[in-house]
A and B are shown apart, each in its own frame.
Chain A
Amino acid sequence: MLRFIIRRLAITVPTILVVITITWGLVRLAPGNFYIGEKKLPPAVEKNIREKYGLDKPWYQQYGRVMWNIVRHLDFGTSLKYEGQSVNTIIARSLPVSATVGLLAYLLALLVGVTFGTLAALKPNSPRDYGSMAMAMLGISIPNFVLGPILVLIFSLTLYWLPPSRWNGFPSRSLILPVLTLSGLYMAYIARLTRAGMLEVLRSDYIRTARSKGLSERQVVIRHALRGGLMPVVSYTGPALAFLITGTVVVERIFVLPGLGNYFIQAALNRDEPLIIGIVAFIAIALLLMNLLVDIAYAYLDPRIRY
Chain B
Amino acid sequence: MNDEQPRHPDELEREEPGLTPDPAASYTHGDLIHTAPEFALADADVFAAERSDVIKGTSLWRDAWRRLLKNRLAVFGMIVVVLITIASLIGPFIIKKLTGLTPDYIPTDAALLKSIPPLTAPDGSFSWLHPLGTDTQGRDMLARILQGGQISLMVGVIATFVSLLIGVSWGATAGYLGGRIDNLMMRFVDVLYSLPYIVIVIVLLALFRSQTGWGQIILLFIALGSVSWLTMARIVRGQVLSLKNQEFVLAAKATGVSTPGIIFRHIVPNTLGPVIVYATLTIPTVMLIEAFLSFLGFGVQPPLASWGSLVSDGIQNFGIFPWQLVFPGLAMALTLFSLNFLGDGLRDALDPQTRN
A residues in contact (CB < 8 Å) with B: 11, 15, 18-19, 22-23, 26-27, 30-31, 124, 137-138, 140-143, 145-146, 149-150, 152-153, 157, 196, 199-200, 203, 242, 245-246, 249-250, 253-254, 264-265, 268-269, 271, 276, 279-280, 283-284, 287-288, 291
Contact = CB atoms under 8 A, between A and B. Distances in A.
Question: Which among B194, B325, B340 has the highest number of chain A CB atoms within 10 Å?
Answer: B194
Given A137-B340, A146-B329, A27 B196 contact: no
Interface stretch (B36-44, B53-61, B143-151, B288-296): B288-296
A288 B193 CA distance: 10
A169 B164 CA distance: 45
Contacts of B334: 141
The main secondary structure of chain A at its interface with chain B is helix
A27 B203 contact: yes
B199 A280 contact: yes
B218 interface: no
A23 B332 contact: no
B86 interface: no
Contacts of A19: 195-196, 200
B267 interface: no
A15 B194 contact: yes
Contacts of B162: none
A143 B333 contact: yes
A75 B293 CA distance: 30
A250 B292 CA distance: 8
Interface string B148-168: 000000000000000000000
A145 B295 contact: yes
Given A26-B207, A124-B356, A143-B329, A254 B315 contact: yes
Interface residues of B, number: 39
Given A157-B319, A250-B295, A143 B195 contact: no
B148 to A, nearest CB: 13
The main secondary structure of chain B at its interface with chain A is helix
Interface string B21-40: 00000000000000000000
A163 to B, nearest CB: 14
Contacts of B312: 145
Nearest to A241: B196
Contacts of A150: 325-326, 329
B111 interface: no
A30 B207 contact: yes
Contacts of B48: none
A153 B333 contact: no
B191 interface: yes
A296 B196 CA distance: 20
B356 A149 contact: no
B200 A15 contact: no
Interface of B: 3, 191, 194-196, 198-200, 202-204, 206-208, 284, 288, 291-292, 295-296, 308, 311-312, 314-315, 318-319, 322, 325-326, 329, 332-334, 336-337, 340-341, 356
Contact of A22 (B194, B200, B314): B200
Nearest to B319: A157
B288 to A, nearest CB: 6
11 contacts: A23-B203, A141-B334, A143-B288, A145-B308, A150-B325, A152-B318, A196-B356, A250-B296, A268-B202, A276-B203, A280-B203
A140 B340 CA distance: 9
Nearest to B208: A30
A249 B292 CA distance: 10
Question: Which among A26, A146, A246, A276 has the highest number of chain B CB atoms within 10 Å?
Answer: A146
Contact of A283 (B199, B318, B337): B199
B329 A287 contact: no
Contacts of B206: 265, 268-269
Question: Which among A23, A124, A203, A268 has the highest number of chain B CB atoms within 10 Å?
Answer: A268
